[in-house]
Structure 1
C-alpha cells in the first residue's frame, strides 16, 4: 500500500472546512490523503488553525514550499473559484477531484478535474460534469445532464434529465430544474426556485416558476 499523498486545501472558509471533513471521511475508509492544512490568500488567516489544521500561507507560499503536493480547490463561490483555478494553472498546479464515500459515481458519469462531490450527492447515468464543479450535500443530477465548468449546486438541488447548466451557473439551495432546460452562462438560480424554461446568461432567476429579475 502506498503512503497517503500530501494534500493542501485551497480556501479556508466554510466550504474548505466541509471538504476537510470529506477528506477525513475518505481516510477513514482507506488512508488516502495526508492532509497538511490550508492555503488562503487572506493574510489574517496565516499562521492560524482551522479545524485544527494550519493555514500555511497563500498560493505563492504553496508554489515555493510545496510544489509537489496535491491541492483541492475548496472555494464555494464559482466566480472566485475560477479566478483561483486560473492562478493555480499558472503555477502548474492541477486540483484533484474529491468524492465523498457516500457518493456512487456510475461508469457513464464523467468528472472533470477539480470536481468536488459532497456527502449524499447523486449523479445518475450519462452525466457530464466539467472542471471545478461543486455538488454540495444531497444534490441529485438526472440522466444526460451536462454541467459545464465552475457550476455550483447548493445543498438539496434537484436537476432533472437532460438539463444543461452552462459555465459558472449557481443553483441555490433546494432549487429544482425541470427536464431539458438550459441555464445560460453565469446565471444564478435562487434558493427554492423551480426552473421550467430556459434561462438567459448573466441573470438572477427566482420564484415558482423562476423568472429573471
Structure 2
C-alpha cells in the first residue's frame, strides 16, 4: 500500500500513473501481485471471454528473455519478428506530431540532443531490459481473437496499472516486445497459437531519475470529445 496507508481514488491513480522508465532493483512481493491480478479479473470483456493470457517473469526466466531478444536485436533489421504494426502505416496529423513530440520530450529530459544518435540508440535499448524492472509481464492471447478482444486486453491492462499505483508500485507498458514476438514466445514456451500483445515492466520507480519526472502532455478535451445535446 502507499506510505500513508490510504488508497488513492481512481482519479488520483490515473493522474499518478505514468510510464516509468527507470526502476530500482527492489523486489516485488508476489503476494501483492497475486492480489492485483485477482482484482483485475473484474475488468470487462465482451461476452465474458476474458481473452487475456499472462506470462509473468522474474529472475532467471526474465534474464533468458532479455538475452534471447538481445541476440535477435544484434541481427539488425533481419532480426525483426513483428507480431503486428505497433503504429499505423502512413500516420498522419495530429497523431504523428503527438508521437514525435513525446519522443523528443523524453530525450530532452535525459539531455540527449537529436544529433547524438549513439546515445539515443543506447537509451532505446533500455526498453529491452525493462528499464531495470525486476518483473516483466507479457500479455498475449489466442490468435483467433479479434479487435474487440484486444480492446478487452487493454481494459485489463489499465486495471492492472491502476492497481499497481494503489500498491505503491510502478509500471511501463511496452509494445516494443512485439517486434520480437517469436523469440519471446519460444523462450517462454508459449504456443504458436498465441500472439504477443505487449510487455509491462513492473517494479518500484526510481523517482530520482529525470526520465521519471518530465511532464507528459495530454490534448485538451475538445480535441477528442464532440459534445452533442449538452
Short-chain TM bin? under 0.3
Using structure 1 for the length normalisation, give the TM-score.
0.24
Task: Give the number of the structure with larger relative contact order, counting CA–CA contacts within 8 Å between residues 6 or more apart.
Answer: 2
Q: Which has the higher strand share?
A: 1
Q: Which has the higher helix share?
A: 2
Instruction: Name the larger-Rg structure.
Output: 2
